Amino acid sequence: ENSFITKWKDTQVSQAGDLLIEVYVERKEPDCSIIIRISPVMEAEELTNDILAIKNIIPMKGDIWATFEVIENEELERPLHYTENVLEQVLRWSSLSEPGSAYLVVKRFLTIDTIKHYNERRALESIKEGMLKIKE
């Protein structure tokens, strides 16, 4: 918290409506966080791209990076849709029972690899060939 306050004092005054928030990269650890300015119109894709650029992370071909919302003391985690408004989502945290436990993390979307593998396997299993007989 002290480092956050120190960083808060060192930052420039934000434009009206902007909010400074802490975003983690890959995992929730103090050395993996970035304090970034979120504008009222910033979408999840823009936030993801900004964080990757700040950290000099170049995604490999086929890698999908996304911003995830983690709430309810890390019991729930979901990827934000790339067009989802980030500030709007962060402001909804005030209605949670413990809003201080909610945070954003930018990381590889590993579940998508599993889905692709499953779909490829199912596609091979579902292919049928032969004569189709029809009776009227």
Number of folded domains that form the chain: 1
On whether the CB atoms of residues 18 and 39 are closer than 8 A, the answer is: yes
DSSP code string of 115-132: HHHHHHHHHHHH---SPP
- Residue 24's beta-bridge partner residues? 33, 105
The type of residue at 133 is K
What CATH number does residue 114 fall under?
Answer: 3.10.20.90
Residue 122 lies inside a defined structural domain of this protein? yes
For residue 56, tell me if it sits in a domain: yes
Q: Print burial letters for 14-25: b (CB count within 10 Å at least 16), e (below 16).
A: eeeeeeebebbb
Any domain includes 133: no
User: Does a structural domain hold residue 135?
Assistant: no
Q: Which domain holds residue 101?
A: 2-126
**What are φ and ψ of residue 13, in 5° steps?**
-65, 130
3-state secondary structure of 126: helix
pTM above 0.85, yes or no: no
Label residue 132 by pLDDT band (50, 70, 90): confident
Q: Write out pLDDT tens, residues 26-73.
A: 999 888 889 999 999 999 999 999 999 999 988 888 788 999 999 988
Q: pLDDT tens digits for 85-99?
A: 999 999 899 888 888
Rounded to an integer, what distance in angstroms lies between the CA atom of residue 90 and that of residue 86?
6
Q: How many other CB atoms sit within 10 Å of the CB of residue 66? A: 20
